[in-house]
Amino acid sequence: MTSVPLVDLAPQYAQIAPHARSVFDRIASGGAFTFGAELEGFEAEFAAYCGTSECVGVANGTDALKLALQALGAGPGTEVVTVPMTFIATVEAIAATGAEPVLVDVDPETRCMDPDRLAAAIGPRTAAVVPVHLYGRPAPMAELARAAGDVALLEDAAQAHGADLDGARAGALGRAAAFSFYPTKNLGAMGDAGAVTTDDPELAATVRSLRHHGAAPGDANRHELAGWTARLDNLQAALLRLKLAHLDAWNRMRREAAAAYRAALDGLPVRLPPPDPPDGSQVFHLFVLEVDDRDGVLESLRSDGVGAAVHYPTPAHLQPAWRALGEAGDFPAAERLAQRALSLPIFPGITEEQVGRAAGALRRALG
Ligand SMILES: *Cc1c(COP(=O)(O)O)cnc(C)c1O
């Protein structure tokens, strides 16, 4: 029996392959590898897609978070609030600015930052709050904004390209947003890439300067800010433009696969992912259920040829590098989710048959 991979990028590439080859020829012969028409084109198109006035392409999602946080004033002596249940980059980026990460537990229903716990974590030194749209489901931004008062919200939208809430898309739901275009994300480059979106032209200008050694606009030899090197390559930008045209269709395929899983898993002793938020939709970067004896079930799925995985087995505060952020028991909802989370295969182009095979293997694993 052939296996069902967790992610298969081949169906995506099949849709852009002929154009991708001509993009490579054009850029290789043109010689503009950083900055150029493709980067500018992608920035304009992705801003329009998100519904923001600004998009600044950067090298990866971690840099997008870091530079956006710096532009929001995070640095030594400040604090930035986020969740323990996320990819570790969210916490790393905060610490990389010199700010202190402060964690708030997730809501077990939404698996995103719990608005009821946020107010208590905000203090006079809080520079920003970073909600994560975990697994592609938008965090409850209105409730979080209410709890945050006048502290800026920076979306970690690395898993939520195209998700929407209350009539706006991820990327336009806070003061600014950080995206990753790591290859397996809903919109992925063929290597590392990222972006910051915002409606604030001043904030965008600061990120533009920070990504290029703090250079002044139009004068690469005048360094106005202590910056970094974090540019988005022209080649990756060109590939992202090709893929952006397919993003809505690809997200639709993810949602269809999620609906097929829901039907196929009905009645099993698992907790399915939460439904879409009221007035919003999720884009299933991952299809994450919760199950007892997760490690046993994972083992059984794998031996049955199903590429299941865990996102994430250890919350940030229990990672060796980040022990200072808390102890076991401090964030019970995140810890419980980390013990029970199980990701099933999902990607644009996954077939009904593959979904059926993964669901059947789960039924056997639980049987
Ligand atoms: C992927 C991811 C990042 C980091 O993005 P990179 O491009 O890998 O640096 C940050 N936050 C979340 C939630 C992610 O999933």
* pLDDT tens, residue by residue, 37-69: 999 999 999 999 999 999 999 999 999 999 999
Q: How confident is the model at residue 148 (pLDDT cuts 50, 70, 90)?
A: very high
Q: How confident is the model at residue 262 (pLDDT cuts 50, 70, 90)?
A: very high
pTM above 0.85, yes or no: yes
Query: Residue 181 Cα, ligand 1 centroid: separation in angstroms?
Result: 8
Distance CA(163)–CA(182), nearest Å, equals 17
How is residue 350 annotated by DSSP? Answer: -
The confidence score (pLDDT) of residue 1 equals 55
For residue range 283-296, list pLDDT tens digits in order. Answer: 999 999 999 999 99
Residue corresponding to tokens 């439904």: 275
The verdict on the CB of residue 90 being under 6 Å from ligand 1 is yes
Domain assignments of the chain as residue spans, ordered by start:
10-104+111-244, 247-365
Q: Which of 18-32, 113-127, 177-191, 295-309 has the lowest mean pLDDT?
A: 18-32
Task: Specify the CATH architecture of the domain 247-365.
Answer: Alpha-Beta Complex (3.90)
Select 10-104+111-244's CATH number: 3.40.640.10, 1.10.3720.10, 3.40.50.300, 3.90.1570.10: 3.40.640.10
The verdict on the CB of residue 87 being under 6 Å from ligand 1 is yes
The verdict on the CB of residue 182 being under 6 Å from ligand 1 is yes
The confidence score (pLDDT) of residue 367 equals 85
Q: How confident is the model at residue 318 (pLDDT cuts 50, 70, 90)?
A: very high
Mutate to test the pocket of ligand 1, among 67, 88, 90, 106 (most ligand atoms within 8 A of CB): 90
Q: How confident is the model at residue 31 (pLDDT cuts 50, 70, 90)?
A: confident
Q: How confident is the model at residue 2 (pLDDT cuts 50, 70, 90)?
A: low
For residue range 104-132, list pLDDT tens digits in order. Answer: 999 999 999 999 999 999 999 999 999 99
Question: Beta partners for 342?
Answer: 289
Mutate to test the pocket of ligand 1, among 7, 87, 92 (most ligand atoms within 8 A of CB): 87
Q: Which atom of ligand 1 is nearest to the CA of 159?
A: 15
Query: Residue 62 Cα, ligand 1 centroid: separation in angstroms?
Result: 6
Is the per-residue pLDDT at 280 higher than 70? yes
Give the sheet arrangement for strand 79-82, strand by strand: 54-58, 194-198, 176-180, 152-156, 126-129, 79-82, 100-103
